[in-house]
Amino acid sequence: MAFLPAMIIAIAAVVIGVAALIVFLAGRKGVPGFGHSVLQDIASHHKGRHDEGERSVRLEHRRCRITVKHILGKHAHFTVSLNPPEEGYPSAFTPMDEETWGRPIRLAHLPTMRLTRERLSNRVGKWLMLNRELQTGDGDFDKAVYVHTNAPPEVIHQILRRPTTRAAIMRLLDAGYTSVDLFTAQAPVSVTSPKPVPGAFQQGAFEGQLDALSIIAEGLPSVEVERTTGQIWTRATSIALTAALLSLAGFVLFMVTKDTWPTLGDVSLSEGFLIGAGLWLLALPVLMLTMRGFSNSFSTFCVAAVCLSVGLPATAITAASSLNALLDDSPTLLVEARVVDRSATRGKNSTTYRLSLDPGVHGPRTDLNVDEDLYSMTTVGDRVTLVTHEGAFGWRWIDKIIP
C-alpha cells in the first residue's frame, strides 16, 4: 500500500492544475487586452466594424478612416493606423487639410520616419557627433523625441513644422505607444505598442488618441515618390554591412587555414591578434568619420565595430601565419617533441583530435589539431618528430609531424 499516498498526491496535483487552468482562462476572458475583447470594446464604443479573421476594427474619426489591430502570440503588438487613400498611396499622398495642398514634394523614396522616446544610445550618438537628428526648434519636443529617418531635412521640417503635430506626437508617446511611424509603405500614420495601451480601455482616453492621430494626418504634406519604400541603404548602413561580410569572410578563412601552418607556441596567433587589434583601433576613427551624419549612425557604427573586432584579428592571424610560411625559404629543421597530453572532442558530426607537444629548447608547449591516424598512433609520453622551418617573420612553423 506504499504507493497509495503517492497516487493521492498525484491525483490532487492534477485536479489543482486543471482548476488553476480553468480559473486562468476564465480570468483572461474578462480582462481587457486578451483575445478579441479590447477590439470588441473599441468597435462597440466607436461604431467600428470588427473583423475577427484579421483581428482588427475599422472605424471613422474626424474624416479619417482608421484601422486598429491587436495581434497576439510571439510577435504581439497593438497598432492604430490611418488607412491610406484608396488610390495612389504609397506612390503619392494627398493631405486632408486643404491648407497644405499645393505642389507636391517630389522624392526618390518615401520619407519614412519613426519617432520614439529619446534613449541613452541616441544621446550618446549625438554626443559623439555621429548621429544627425534634425532639431525643430521646439525645446521640449527635441529633448523628449528622437526622429529616426533618412528623409531630406527640408522634408522633415515640412512634416514637423506644426506645433499641433508635435504636440500630438508627444501625446501618443505619453499614452504608452513605443513609436509613431509616418509614411511607411503600409500607412501614412501609425502608432504601435507591444500591447494595448491603458487608454485603449477607456472611451474618453482612446478618443483623445484618435484625435492625436487625426491631427498628425491632417498636417502631412503632399508627396510623390519614385520608389514606394523608405531609403534603407545609407552610407552608414552600407559600411556596416560591408564590415560584417568582410569580417565573416576573414573568420571563415581563419577557421579553414588555422591548422595549415601552425607555429611553435602559437606565436602567429598572439602576434597576429595584436596586429589585428591595432588595425581595429585605427579603424574606429575612420568608421566614425565615414558613418556620421545619419539618424542611425551610432547603432550601425556599433555593428561595424563589433564585427571588425572579430574580423580584423582573424584576418590578421590568417595573413600573418600564411605569409610567414609562404615567404619562407629557410632549410628544414627536425625537432623532437614529447607528447604531454592528448584529447578527443566529439561533436555532433565530427571528432577533433588534439595533441599537446613539448619541443624542449626549441620552443614553448604547443597544442595542435591532428588527424585520427596520427592521434591513434601516439600516447602520452611518446616522442614525435616535427618537420619545421624558421619562418619569414622568425616564427618557427610546423610543416609535418612524423610519429
- Per-residue pLDDT tens over the stretch 360-381: 888 888 888 888 888 888 899 8
Instruction: Say if 34 falls within a structural domain.
Output: no
- Find the helix or strand (DSSP H, E) in which 191 lies: strand 189-193
Integer-rounded Cα radius of gyration of the chain: 32
Strongest mean pLDDT among 51-55, 253-257, 301-305: 301-305
Q: Average pLDDT of the chain? A: 82
Instruction: Say if 294 falls within a structural domain.
Output: yes
Q: Which of 230, 264, 296 is the last residue of a domain?
A: 230
Q: Which of 203, 230, 257 is the last residue of a domain?
A: 230
Q: What is the pLDDT of residue 225?
A: 86
Give Cβ neighbours of residue 403 (< 8 Å, ≥ 6 apart): 374, 377, 378, 382, 384
Strongest mean pLDDT among 123-137, 157-171, 252-266: 157-171
Question: 340 and 321, same structural domain?
Answer: no
Instruction: Say if 308 falls within a structural domain.
Output: yes
- pLDDT tens readout for residues 191-249: 998 888 776 666 678 888 889 998 998 888 888 888 776 666 778 888 899 999 999 99
Q: What is the pLDDT of residue 60?
A: 81
Question: 45 and 148, same structural domain?
Answer: yes
Question: 76 and 174, same structural domain?
Answer: yes
- pLDDT tens readout for residues 7-49: 544 555 555 555 555 544 444 443 444 445 677 777 777 677 8
**CB 167, CB 188: distance < 8 Å:** no
Instruction: Say if 367 falls within a structural domain.
Output: yes
Q: Which of 326, 357, 374 is the last residue of a domain?
A: 326
Mean pLDDT calculated for residue range 143-149? 92
Mean pLDDT calculated for residue range 112-129? 90
**CB 236, CB 294: distance < 8 Å:** yes
- Find the helix or strand (DSSP H, E) in which 38 lies: helix 37-46
Cα–Cα distance, 146 to 123 (Å, whole number): 9
Count up the domains in the chain and report the number. Answer: 3
Burial of 6 (0-12, 13-18, 19+ CB in 10 A): exposed
Question: 203 and 108, same structural domain?
Answer: yes
Instruction: Say if 102 falls within a structural domain.
Output: yes
**CB 315, CB 283: distance < 8 Å:** no
CA dihedral 70, 71, 74, 75 (to 10 degrees): -80
Question: 58 and 137, same structural domain?
Answer: yes
**CB 368, CB 355: distance < 8 Å:** yes
Question: 183 and 56, same structural domain?
Answer: yes
Taken as a whole, the chain contains a residue count of 403
pLDDT-derived band at 5 (thresholds 50, 70, 90) equals very low
Instruction: Say if 309 falls within a structural domain.
Output: yes
Mean pLDDT calculated for residue range 68-83? 82
Instruction: Say if 170 falls within a structural domain.
Output: yes
Question: 218 and 150, same structural domain?
Answer: yes
**CB 109, CB 91: distance < 8 Å:** no
CA distances from 109 to 78, 226, 228, 361 (A): 27, 6, 6, 67
Question: What are the grid coordinates assigned to 71, written together?
Answer: 495581434
**Distance linking the first and last C-alpha atoms of the chain:** 66
Question: 387 and 364, same structural domain?
Answer: yes
pLDDT(258) > 50: yes
Give residue 150's Cα distance to chain centre: 18
Q: What is the pLDDT of residue 24?
A: 46
Owning domain of residue 191: 41-230
**CB 182, CB 147: distance < 8 Å:** no
- pLDDT tens readout for residues 333-348: 898 999 999 898 888 8
Question: 191 and 155, same structural domain?
Answer: yes
Q: What is the pLDDT of residue 312?
A: 92
Q: What is the pLDDT of residue 26?
A: 43
**CB 37, CB 29: distance < 8 Å:** yes
Question: 215 and 95, same structural domain?
Answer: yes
Cα–Cα distance, 249 to 280 (Å, whole number): 16
pLDDT(169) > 90: yes
Query: In 3-state terms, what secondary structure has residue 185?
Result: coil
CATH number at residue 395: 2.40.50
Cα–Cα distance, 334 to 92 (Å, whole number): 76
- pLDDT tens readout for residues 283-326: 999 999 999 888 888 999 999 999 999 999 999 989 988 999 99
Question: 249 and 226, same structural domain?
Answer: no
Using a pLDDT cut of 90, give the percent of the chain over it: 24
Specify the range with the lowest mean pLDDT, choosing from 94-103, 140-149, 256-265.
94-103
Give residue 370's Cα distance to chain centre: 38
- To the question of pTM greater than 0.75 for the whole model, the response is no
Q: What is the pLDDT of residue 14?
A: 57
Query: Nearest 5°: CA angle at 380, between 376 and 386?
Result: 75
Query: In 3-state terms, what secondary structure has residue 35?
Result: coil
Q: What is the pLDDT of residue 52?
A: 73
Question: 301 and 246, same structural domain?
Answer: yes
Instruction: Say if 27 falls within a structural domain.
Output: no
